[in-house]
Amino acid sequence: MAGIRTVLLDRARGLPPEHQALIHPGWRRHLVPFGVVFALVALFVFALDRFGFTFARIFGGIEQLGWIIYFMVPPNAEGQFLFFARALGETVAIALLGTLIGAILAFPLSLLAARNVMTNRIVQFMSRRTFDAVRGIDTLIWALIYVNVVGLGPFAGVLAIASSDMAGFAKIFSEAMEATEGKASEGVRSTGGRRSAEIAFGLLPQVMPVLISQVLYFFESNTRSATIIGIVGAGGIGLYLSDTIRTGEWQQVSMLILMILVVVSVIDVISTRLRFAIIGKRG
Amino acid sequence: MPIMAQRIPALAPERAAAIRAAYADVQRAKRLRTLGGLALLAFACLIAAWMAEVSPAKFAEGIPRFFNYFANLVPKIGFATFATDMAEWYWGFSRWMRLLFDTILIAYTGTIIGALIGGYLSFVAAETLTQTKWLVFVTRRFLEFCRTVPEIVFALIFIVAFGLGPLPGVMAIAIHTIGALGKLFSEVNENASLKPVEGVMSTGAGWHAAMIFGVLPQVLPNFVSYALLRFEMNIRGAAVMGFVGAGGIGQELVTAIRQFYYTDISAILILIIATVMLVDIGTEKLRHMIVGEGAH
C-alpha cells in the first residue's frame, strides 16, 4: 500500500522536467491554500479566546441548557393559550400588511432602478445603492425606531416590516424588470403607445408572476421576522416569548415555540400552493 | 404561389358564435378568479388591519413625527467647522469600531461553527448518500427546526444558560447557520455525481472516507460560496444580537435609540451599513473567484 506514492514518484523522475512539475508541484503551490486555512483557523481561535469560550463555561452552559429543555417538556400554555393565539394572529397580520405595504411602495421605486425603464444612469445607480444601504438595516432596528415614532404596538411592527421589505422588493423587482424581453414594449411603442402604456402593457405582464411569487416568499420569511419584533415592543408574539424566557416559564416558552413552528409551516404550505396556482410552476 | 392566393374559407356563423361564446366564458371565468382573489386579499387585509390596530388617525398623527425623527438623525455639519463637527458626530468612533469588530467576529465564528456542523449533517441529510431513511428524516427535521426558530430566540435562551455576552450570540448564530447551510449543502450533495463515491467504496473504504474523498471535492466550491453568502447575512443578524444582550454593536445602538441620542443613532447605523456593504462586495468578489460568474 505504502508503495503507490513512491512508485509514482520514481516514475516521475524519468519524465521530462515540465511533466515532473505537474506530478510533484513543490511547496510553492501549497503555500496559498495553507496560508488561507491557517489565517482562518487563527482568527477562529482568537475569537473563541476573546469571547471567553472556556470548557468550564461551555459545559456549565450545556448542563443549564439540559435543565431548561427538561423543564420545557411537556409544552403547556398554563391557561394563556387564547392570549398566545391572539398574539400569533397579530403576528401574521403584521407580516401580511407589512409585506403588502412594502411591495406597493417598492413598485414605483423599482421603476427608478431598472436599467430598461430608467434611462438616466445616475438616478438608476443611485437608487440601487440606496436600496442596498437600507437593506443593511435589520427589521428589528426598524422596529425599535418605529416604536419611538408611532408608539408601542403592532402598528410599529407593520411599518418596520414594510420599511425593511421595501428596499429588498425594489431591488428584486427592478432586477426582474431588467430580465424581461424588450420586444413587447417595442410593439406597444410601434402602435404609438406612450411610455406609461409601454410599462403597463409591455413590461408588467411579463414581470407580474415573478413579482407575485417574490411577494409570497417575503410573506413567508416575514412571518418569521414578525415573531421576534415583539421583543422590542412592536407587537406580535415576541413579547410573550421574551417575557416567558426572562421569567423562566419554560413550559410556556416551548408551547410558544411549538405554536410558531406550526403557524410558520402552515403559512409555508399555503403560500407554496398559491405560488403554484398563480404562476403554474416553481418560480 | 397558389397557397398564398387561396382564400381562407369564412367560418360558418353559428361556429363563429360558438367560439366567441366559449372565449367569452373563459375570459369571464379568469376575470372572476382574479377578482375573487383580490376580494379575498382585501378581506384578509381588513382583518389584519383590525388585528394589527392600524388606525389612519394614528398614522396621520405619526407622519410629522416620522419626518421630525429622521430630520433629527442628520447631524449639524457646517462647512467651515467640518472636521470638528465630524469628530463630534463620531465621538465614540474607536469604541464603536471595537464593538463592530466584535460583531463581525461573532458572525464569523458563528458561520464557521455552523458551516462545519451543518456541513457534516448535510451528508447525512442527503437522500442519495445516506441509505438509512429514518436518519435522513430525523436530520432534515432537526435542520428545519434550527432554521425556523429565529436566532434571537435562541440567543434569549442561551443567555439564560451561558450568561450575557458574545458567547450566546455566537452559539445562536451557529445554530441558525447549521439549519440554513445544512439544507443548502444537502441539496448540493444530492446533485453530486455518485461515480466517485462508488470508486472510493470499491476500495473498501467506509462511509466517511467516501464522503471526504468522493463527494467533498465536487461540492466544496459551492459550500464555500453558500457559506460566504451566509456570513454576510449573519453580520446583519449579529448587529442586532446586542439588543438582547448578546454582544456586539447592537447594545450601543439600542441604548442610542431608547435614549433618543439622535446623531449617535445615525452614526452607528452608517457604520453598520458601510460594514454590511463592504462585506457584501468582498464576499461577492470571492464567490465569483471560487465558482465563476453566474454564481447564486
B54 → chain A, closest CA residue: A155
Contacts with B284 from chain A: Cβ below 8 Å? none
Give A12-37 pLDDT, tens digit per residue.
Answer: 667 666 666 666 666 777 788 888 89
Domain-embedded: residue B76: no
CB within 8 Å: B156 and A241: yes
HSE (side-chain half, CA atoms, 13 Å) at B280: 13
Cβ(A245)–Cβ(B157) under 8 Å? yes
B265 CB near a chain A CB, below 8 Å? Answer: yes
Average pLDDT for residues B183-203, to the nearest whole number?
92
Nearest to A136 among B48, B260, B276 (CB): B276
How high is the ipTM of this complex? 0.81
Please tell me the distance from the alpha carbon of residue A8 to that of residue A20, in angstroms, as a whole number.
11
According to the per-residue pLDDT averaged within each range, which of B67-76, B81-90, B197-206 is highest?
B197-206
CATH of residue B199:
1.10.3720.10
CATH of residue A239:
1.10.3720.10
Residues A156 and A259 in one domain: yes
Torsion-angle region of A178 (φ positive above 0: left; ψ -120 to 50: alpha; else: beta) = alpha
CB within 8 Å: A61 and B156: no
* Contacts made by residues B42-46, CB under 8 angstroms, sequence distance 24+: B44/A96, B45/A96, B45/A97, B45/A100
Per 3-state DSSP, chain A is made up of helix, strand and coil in percentages (nearest 5) of: 80, 0, 20
Residues A248 and A189 in one domain: yes
Cβ(B226)–Cβ(B182) under 8 Å? no
Average pLDDT for residues B33-59, to the nearest whole number?
85
Domain-embedded: residue A206: yes
pLDDT recorded at residue A115: 80
The grid coordinates of residue A5 equal 506514492
Average pLDDT for residues B173-195, to the nearest whole number?
93
Contacts with B157 from chain A: Cβ below 8 Å? 65, 68, 245, 253
Question: How would DSSP label each residue in B244-291?
Answer: GT-SSTHHHHHHHHHTT-HHHHHHHHHHHHHHHHHHHHHHHHHHHHHH
Residues A97 and A20 in one domain: no
Please tell me the distance from the alpha carbon of residue B123 to that of residue B187, in angstroms, as a whole number.
10
Residues A138 and A245 in one domain: yes
Give B240-290 pLDDT, tens digit per residue.
Answer: 999 998 888 999 999 998 888 888 899 999 999 999 889 988 988 888 888
Length of chain B measured in residues = 296
pLDDT recorded at residue B115: 96
Contacts with B53 from chain A: Cβ below 8 Å? 153-155, 235
Domain that holds residue A7: 3-53
pLDDT recorded at residue A30: 76
Domain-embedded: residue B72: no
pLDDT recorded at residue A21: 65
pLDDT recorded at residue A20: 65
pLDDT band at A3, cuts 50/70/90?
low
B256 CB near a chain A CB, below 8 Å? Answer: no
pLDDT recorded at residue B295: 46
Contacts with B165 from chain A: Cβ below 8 Å? 51-52
Domain that holds residue B47: 8-51
What's the total number of domains in chain B? 2
Give A130-189 pLDDT, tens digit per residue.
Answer: 888 888 788 999 999 888 888 888 989 999 999 989 988 998 888 888 888 788 888 888
Q: Write the DSSP symbol of residue B204.
A: T
pLDDT recorded at residue A282: 47
Please tell me the distance from the alpha carbon of residue A237 to that of residue B211, in angstroms, as a whole number.
42
A54 → chain B, closest CA residue: B167
Cβ(A117)–Cβ(A229) under 8 Å? no
Measured CA distances, A82 to A86, A92, A256, A261 (Å) = 6, 15, 12, 17
Torsion-angle region of A235 (φ positive above 0: left; ψ -120 to 50: alpha; else: beta) = left
What's the total number of domains in chain A? 2
Domain-embedded: residue B68: no
Q: Is the pLDDT of residue A283 over 50?
A: no
One-letter amino acid for residue B129 of the chain: L
Residues B45 and B95 in one domain: no
Q: Is the pLDDT of residue B134 over 70?
A: yes
Cβ(B34)–Cβ(A277) under 8 Å? no
pLDDT recorded at residue B3: 57
pLDDT band at A1, cuts 50/70/90?
very low
Q: Is the pLDDT of residue B220 over 50?
A: yes
